[in-house]
Amino acid sequence: MFDLNINAKLNPHQMNATGASFAWPEPDTLILGNVTSQKQPDIQAVALKVDWDTPKRVRGVALDRVLSLKDTNHEAIFGSKINTTLTQVGDHFWLGSAHFSSFARLNPYEKGKPTPYQAIKFPQALTPKDYEAIEPTDHKARFTLINSKGTIFNIMAFDHLVFVQVGVMGFVPFDTSGRQLENQRIICRISRLVDTYQGLVMFVTPRKNIGNLERLFKVNLFEDSPHDLGDDDQPYVVLMRLRKKFQAP
Residue pLDDT, tens place only, 26-65: 999 999 998 888 788 888 999 988 888 888 788 778 889 9
The dihedral built from the CA positions of residue 130, 134, 137 and 139, taken in this order, carries a sign that is: negative
Q: What CA dihedral angle connects 131, 136, 141 and 143, to 10 degrees?
A: 90
What's the pLDDT score for residue 147?
A: 86
d(CA 63, CA 86): 19
Helices (H) and strands (E) in the chain — how many of each?
5, 17
Beta-carbon count within 10 A of 30 CB: 22
Three-state SS at 142: helix
Three-state SS at 3: coil
Low-confidence ranges of the chain (pLDDT < 50): 1-2
With beta carbons less than 8 A apart as the criterion, state whether 159 and 248 touch. yes
What's the pLDDT score for residue 7?
A: 55
What's the pLDDT score for residue 124?
A: 77
What's the pLDDT score for residue 13?
A: 60
What's the pLDDT score for residue 104?
A: 96
